[in-house]
Amino acid sequence: MIQDIYPSKLDNHFEEHPISDKDTLLIFDAKGKVYVGEKDGQMVFPTGADLGHRRAIYLFSIDERRYFLMLDNAELSGDVPEGFRPYTTREIRDAFAGKEVFAVFTGYHLWKWYDDNRFCGKCAKRFEHDHKERALRCPVCQNVIYPRINPAVIVGVTRGDSLLITRYRTGYAHTALVAGFTEIGETLEECVAREVLEETGVRVKNIRYYKSQPWGMAQDILVGFFCDADGDSEIRMDEGELKYAEWVPREEIVLQPNNLSLTNEMMRVFKDGIL
The CATH number given to whatever domain includes residue 256 is 3.90.79.10
CA distances to 169, 185, 219, 265 from 249, rounded to whole Å, are 22, 35, 32, 16
Nearest residue to 14 (alpha-carbon basis) of 136, 116, 98: 136
Q: Which residue has the higher pLDDT, 53 or 191?
A: 191
Radius of gyration of the chain (CA): 21
Nearest residue to 60 (alpha-carbon basis) of 123, 131, 18, 12: 12
Task: Examine the domain organization and report whether 30 and 135 are in the same domain.
Answer: no
Nearest residue to 216 (alpha-carbon basis) of 148, 133, 115: 148
Contact assessment for residue 183 and residue 191, using Cβ atoms and an 8 Å cutoff:
yes
Nearest residue to 103 (alpha-carbon basis) of 39, 45, 18: 45
What number of CA atoms fall less than 13 Å from residue 129's CA on the CB side? Answer: 15
Contact assessment for residue 91 and residue 104, using Cβ atoms and an 8 Å cutoff:
no
Please report whether residue 221 resides in a domain: yes
User: By residue range, what is the domain housing residue 134?
Assistant: 117-147
> In what helix (H) or strand (E) does residue 265 lie, and over which residues does it extend?
helix 262-271
Task: Examine the domain organization and report whether 163 and 265 are in the same domain.
Answer: yes
Pick from 116, 135, 170: which residue ends a domain? 116
Please report whether residue 2 resides in a domain: no
Task: Examine the domain organization and report whether 262 and 172 are in the same domain.
Answer: yes
Neighbours of 91 (CB within 10 A): 13
Q: What percent of the chain has pLDDT over 70?
A: 99
Query: What residues form DSSP beta bridges with 163?
Result: 158, 248
- Tell me the CATH number at 94: 3.90.79
Please report whether residue 171 resides in a domain: yes
Q: Which residue has the higher pLDDT, 158 or 240?
A: 158
Task: Examine the domain organization and report whether 207 and 142 are in the same domain.
Answer: no
Task: Examine the domain organization and report whether 267 and 162 are in the same domain.
Answer: yes
Asked if the model's pLDDT at residue 82 lies above 90, the reply is no
Task: Examine the domain organization and report whether 231 and 141 are in the same domain.
Answer: no
pLDDT, position 54 = 87
Please report whether residue 95 resides in a domain: yes
Task: Compute the distance between CA of residue 64 and CA of residue 206 in angstroms, rounded to an integer.
Answer: 44
Asked if the model's pLDDT at residue 256 lies above 90, the reply is yes
Task: Compute the distance between CA of residue 93 and CA of residue 105 in angstroms, rounded to an integer.
Answer: 9
Please report whether residue 3 resides in a domain: no
- Give 194-233 pLDDT, tens digit per residue: 999 999 999 999 999 999 999 999 999 999 999 999 988 9
Indicate the pairing of strand 178-181 with strand 85-87.
unpaired
CA 127 distance to own-chain centroid:
25
Task: Examine the domain organization and report whether 61 and 131 are in the same domain.
Answer: no
Task: Examine the domain organization and report whether 54 and 81 are in the same domain.
Answer: yes
Tally of structural domains, the chain:
3
Asked if the model's pLDDT at residue 77 lies above 60, the reply is no
Stretch among 26-30, 40-44, 243-247 having the lowest mean pLDDT: 40-44
Asked if the model's pLDDT at residue 72 lies above 90, the reply is no
Task: Examine the domain organization and report whether 63 and 133 are in the same domain.
Answer: no
Task: Examine the domain organization and report whether 92 and 134 are in the same domain.
Answer: no
Q: Looking at this protein, which amino acid is placed at residue 88?
A: T
Task: Examine the domain organization and report whether 56 and 81 are in the same domain.
Answer: yes
Please report whether residue 5 resides in a domain: no
Contact assessment for residue 262 and residue 4, using Cβ atoms and an 8 Å cutoff:
no
Please report whether residue 132 resides in a domain: yes
Please report whether residue 223 resides in a domain: yes
pLDDT, position 56 = 95
Task: Examine the domain organization and report whether 54 and 123 are in the same domain.
Answer: no
Nearest residue to 89 (alpha-carbon basis) of 217, 263, 176: 217
pLDDT, position 35 = 95
Task: Compute the distance between CA of residue 5 and CA of residue 211 in angstroms, rounded to an integer.
Answer: 16
Task: Compute the distance between CA of residue 164 and CA of residue 178 in angstroms, rounded to an integer.
Answer: 8
pLDDT, position 78 = 66
Stretch among 101-115, 137-151, 161-175, 179-193 having the lowest mean pLDDT: 161-175
